A = this chain, B = another copy of it.
Amino acid sequence: MTDWSNHFSQHARRAIPSAIRSLSEFPRATDSIPFGPGEPDASLFPVALMREALDAILTDETSARSALQYGPSEGDPMLRRLVAEHMNKRGVACAPDNILLTNGAQQALNLASEVFVDPDDTVLVQVPTYPGALQVFLAHGARLADVTKADAATRPALIYAMANFQNPTGISLSVEQRRELVTLAHRLDTVLVEDDPYEVLRFDGDALPSLLALDTETRSIEEAHTLYLGTFSKSVAPGLRVGWAAGPRVLIEKMGLLKQTEDLQPNSLAQAGLVRLLEHGLEPFAARVQAAYRIRRDIMAEALRQHFGNRGAWRVPQGGFFFWLTLPEHIDTAKLLEHAAKLGVTYVPGAAFTPDRSGANTLRLSFSAAAPERIAEGVRRLARAFDEYDQNG
């Protein structure tokens, strides 16, 4: 086998595998209960409606041809309009020109990083944070720093944050904390990338304004420093690979140019399917997934209370997919995972979510992928693994 490693670019050398995706090779019991992956439950996908939508599109010759042909780099004009209307309802005055459609929010995040981050630039992140974002920033050669310790002396190339039901902590920022982030971005003269995949998954409490909504309260979107990332992966289905960025037109155009260079355009068929599916808005889909995941959140909250007792600390999230557990200092959750996997439950060790792999005594539990009737059993197994590990090391 030829050794190519000496010929790899700096970018290729910096790229690292996902700390989460590599867990999929972990040995585990056959009836394992998956609290690891943050993927939606496929039984909630609107399969029948999607079938009808695609059938209608492919039955009409004109719509069929356009759903299978090349399209604009920035995405289907009708879907851009629908997304702009969605953002309008969320308090963001914007036009279709302020929307770029992408292959999921991940591509929007990568494009934003590509537009702003040069090697050795600083990127401010919440700690812990989404590993897929760490992968992106590290591939671009960024130095990562904790946004709560922002040093006014260095202008960061980018600030990355989730305001709603953050991955992995499940925590939402207060309105005041949100305002502080927006103010920080303006003060440091940088872009604030707001990743909001779980927005539709609020179970309790009133919706809070997005960072972009706050940023545009007193100024036009063209003057905003926030770039909002959204996705249909949680409300409809991730396999469609459709997400979006919303922000100042000059940034949307630059990201669109890079998207054109990198893969020409988003998938036409999936976009056409979404346009038809969302004829009556996103709300019915949001309501459906909210109700289903709320039940799971409640089951996991109760199971943790019952089986985990005072072994660790956690907060019940108001939405999203995740509980974040902090265990006693002497517990290494990477080692605990070996016990847990043998007992038939998996999760993601907390070190996967930190730039310096700290947080060895933390872990993320996802309630999105496990069947509701299995969640309590999964937590029971985890508590048993904890006891085994704590007693025998």
Interface residues of A (CB under 8 A from B): 1-4, 7-12, 15-18, 21, 39-40, 42-43, 45, 47-48, 50-51, 54-55, 58-59, 61, 64-71, 73, 102-104, 106-107, 110, 114-118, 121, 132, 135-136, 139-140, 157, 189-191, 222-225, 237-241, 248-251, 254, 257-258, 260-270, 273
Question: What are 26 A-to-B residue pairs whose CB atoms are below 8 Å?
Answer: A2-B224, A3-B250, A4-B254, A9-B114, A9-B117, A10-B118, A12-B116, A15-B258, A18-B261, A21-B260, A39-B70, A40-B69, A45-B69, A48-B58, A51-B54, A69-B238, A102-B263, A103-B103, A103-B264, A104-B263, A135-B260, A136-B262, A238-B268, A241-B264, A262-B262, A269-B269
Complex contact A9–B116 (CB within 8 A): yes
A216 to chain B, nearest CB (A): 12
Complex contact B260–A240 (CB within 8 A): no
- Contact flag A64-B39 (CB < 8 Å), given A70-B238, A267-B240: no
Complex contact A115–B262 (CB within 8 A): no
Complex contact A12–B258 (CB within 8 A): yes
Interface of A is mostly: helix
Complex contact B54–A42 (CB within 8 A): no
User: A48 CA to B238 CA in the complex, in Å?
Assistant: 25
Contact of A4 among B17, B248, B257, B258 (CB under 8 A): B248
User: A250 CA to B6 CA in the complex, in Å?
Assistant: 13
Complex contact B69–A263 (CB within 8 A): no
User: A157 CA to B222 CA in the complex, in Å?
Assistant: 40
